[in-house]
Amino acid sequence: MQEPFRTLYFTLVSQNFPYGVWRYGVKMTQDAIYIGRDAHHFTFLNRHSGWHVTINGQHEGQVAGSFDDLMRMRWDVTPEIRDAFDWFAQHRSNM
């Protein structure tokens, strides 16, 4: 598992977050974690470090960064993304 997927994943697992459904602007699968909504979201892949941002189905490519880099960002396009980032910052688990 690469960062920040690893930290996001273990934080969700420690909170018994369900797989495969959108809840609170977050969706978790074995291979990816999405934060936002279907049309506008961050994607964190299990086997790739960093993330990419999807806006209306388009993304520029993978951005390198750690969990701490992610938490310093303020991408407030949707309330779901802002609220999810705030929640992760407060509930971080490194298991």
Say how many CA atoms lie within 13 Å of 53 toward its Cβ: 12
For residue 32, name the pLDDT band (cuts at 50, 70, 90).
very high
With a pLDDT cut of 90, the percent of the chain lying above it is 46
Determine the length of the chain: 95
Q: Give residue limits of the domains in the chain.
A: 5-91
Residue type at 56 in one-letter notation: N
Distances (CA, A) of 74 to 70, 79, 81, 84, 86: 9, 11, 9, 11, 10
Each residue's pLDDT tens digit, 56-86: 888 888 888 999 988 887 666 678 888 899 8
Looking at residue 54, its pLDDT comes to 87
Q: Which of 81, 87, 89 lies closest to 55, judged by CA?
A: 81
54 HSE (CA, 13 A, CB side):
14
Work out the number of other CB atoms within 10 angstroms of the CB of residue 80.
Answer: 17
Task: Determine the average pLDDT of the residues in 83-90.
Answer: 90
The answer to pTM > 0.85 is: yes
